[in-house]
Amino acid sequence: MQRNGGFARAVRGLCAAIWMGGVLVWAAAHPALAGEVSSASFTQWVATLQQHPDDEALRARIIAAARRRAPAVPEDARRYFIRGNTAMASGLGTYGAQRAIRNYQKALALAPWWGEAYRNLAKAQETTKDYSGAIDALHRFLQTAPEKTQARQAQDHIYALEEMRDEMRDLRRAPPAAATSAASAPVAAPAARIAQPATAVAILPNAAMKLGTVFRDCPDCPEMVVVTPGYAMGKYLVTQKQWRDVMGGNPSFFPQCGDDCPVEQVSWDDAQEFVTKLNEKTGRHYRLPTEAEWRFACHGGMATKYCGSQRYQDVAWFADNSGGHTHPVGKKQPNALGLYDMNGNVWEWTDGCLEDDCDYRVLRGGSWIYDPGFRGTSKRIGVARSYRLNEYGFRVVRILP
């Protein structure tokens, strides 16, 4: 009995070995069906995803396969990743984040399983207020199976981004709420409003104009203030009515704000078209201010933290007092030169190029949606010249005489 039992066990062991050997041979011949992916198949998947980057099912398959294979990150992907990190650390604001996004996307095209690149991409997209994109990137990061603490942090960050995304969506759907008395204080004197200017506005074709003179070249033209013997600066941001009178339409995201609200959602190129048509209409030489002209006009010879005050609440609409929208120009206090809204309300396009790259132009002053980090007069961002956003506007300079 013992001998027969041992023989039976030996037979069963031999059969099991033969079966296992067959399974191993089959698995080697059919790696994808066996739960593994051959190097050639994995490489082909990555190449296919590069051709069809919106194929999320394929991306998820690659990430799942990479968790088993732990493939090395290609050197070119690492190079783009480091370039993205450098752009984010450059201190160039939105421009730096846009450059980072492009580099991270190139890295992920080569290594679509790379969790760290997805996480950094999300940070850059959040900086540009692309909250939906940042959420998608963090979901992909979670698919890479990060360690427990990182996964918890990423999921909590997704919850926060969802709130910011939904808040931005609600702001776009809802008409601007009436400003509360706290948000609108201190309010400039009623005479500061466009409809009732504080000083007589002269229409002066070629007369010699003293510093501080306020004038218009035509009844519907922007009000200008002579700030140096060589040029005058717009007393206010270009308004929706002024844009409509010159361009024949209104691109603003907040048209309900009214005629005296700044025109926004205009690109640098759009502002150039406005200036060209204004020049044709008046026969004068209008243009966007240089950065140096903007800085001079902002400070007005005064050493203040903001353009006209040590307190931003006196002169500007920012995130914590704007109510989530733009406001009519001239409602806050003017600066020393009699210019309004040099900080806040909307970012102002200038003629400056960013680091000698004139495809990107500099904006100054901050906007209704920006946080305290962008309130100072020294803050500047660089944005693609064709980019439109509901916080981008401008004022004009007019060459004298």
Which has the minimum average pLDDT: 205-214, 287-296, 307-316, 327-336? 205-214
Q: Return the C-alpha torsion angle 58, 60, 61, 62, nearest 10.
A: 90
Identify the pLDDT of residue 188: 35
Q: How many domains does the chain have?
A: 2
Tokens of 353: 């190029």
Identify the pLDDT of residue 286: 97
Tokens of 342: 């040099």
pLDDT digits 0-9 by tens, 82-141: 999 998 887 677 778 889 999 999 999 999 999 999 999 999 998 888 888 999 999 999
| Whether residues 265 and 392 fall in one domain | yes
Identify the pLDDT of residue 104: 95
Inside any domain, residue 211: yes
Identify the pLDDT of residue 5: 54
| Whether residues 217 and 352 fall in one domain | yes
Confidence of residue 1 (pLDDT cuts 50, 70, 90): very low
| Coil vs helix vs strand at 378 | coil
Q: What is the pTM of this model?
A: 0.53
Orientation of helix 75-88 relative to helix 93-110, angle to 10°: 170
pLDDT higher at 286 or 35: 286
| Whether residues 199 and 98 fall in one domain | no
**What's the rounded Cα separation, in Å, for the pair 322 and 380?**
20
DSSP string computed for 30-90: -TTTTT---HHHHHHHHHHHHH-TT-HHHHHHHHHHHHHH-PPPPHHHHHHHHHHHHHHTT
Confidence of residue 182 (pLDDT cuts 50, 70, 90): very low
Domain range enclosing 124? 75-173
Final residue belonging to a domain, choices 173, 202, 228: 173
pLDDT digits 0-9 by tens, 223-274: 999 998 889 999 999 999 999 999 999 999 999 999 999 999 999 999 999 9
Identify the pLDDT of residue 131: 85
Which has the minimum average pLDDT: 118-122, 201-205, 328-332? 201-205
Sheet holding 214-215, edge to edge: 214-215, 224-228, 231-234, 397-399, 286-287
Asked whether the beta carbons of 71 and 62 are under 8 A apart, the reply is: no
pLDDT digits 0-9 by tens, 356-396: 889 999 999 989 888 655 555 667 888 999 999 999 999 99
| Whether residues 324 and 268 fall in one domain | yes
Pairing assessment for the beta strands 392-393 and 347-354 based on DSSP bridges: parallel
Identify the pLDDT of residue 203: 56
Final residue belonging to a domain, choices 173, 205, 228: 173
| Whether residues 155 and 233 fall in one domain | no
Most confident of 69-73, 100-104, 164-168, 187-191: 100-104
Q: Which candidate, 109, 145, 105, places its Cα nearest to that of 125?
A: 105
**What's the rounded Cα separation, in Å, for the pair 64 and 66?**
5
Enter the DSSP assignment of 338.
Answer: S
Final residue belonging to a domain, choices 118, 141, 173: 173
Identify the pLDDT of residue 293: 92
**What's the rounded Cα separation, in Å, for the pair 379 and 318?**
14
| Whether residues 132 and 85 fall in one domain | yes
| Whether residues 168 and 303 fall in one domain | no
Confidence of residue 193 (pLDDT cuts 50, 70, 90): very low
Tokens of 260: 């005296």
Inside any domain, residue 156: yes
CATH of residue 360's domain is: 3.90.1580.10
CATH of residue 132's domain is: 1.25.40.10
**What's the rounded Cα separation, in Å, for the pair 187 and 345?**
14
Which has the minimum average pLDDT: 175-179, 316-320, 360-364, 387-391? 175-179
Inside any domain, residue 317: yes
Asked whether the beta carbons of 329 and 348 are under 8 A apart, the reply is: no
pLDDT digits 0-9 by tens, 8-65: 555 555 555 554 444 444 344 444 433 466 888 889 999 999 999 888 888 888 998 8
Tokens of 368: 């209704």
Any residues with CB less than 8 A from the CB of 176 and at least 6 apart, and which? 254, 256, 257, 323, 324, 325, 326
Is the peptide bond prior to 401 cis by the omega test (within 30 degrees of 0)?
Answer: yes
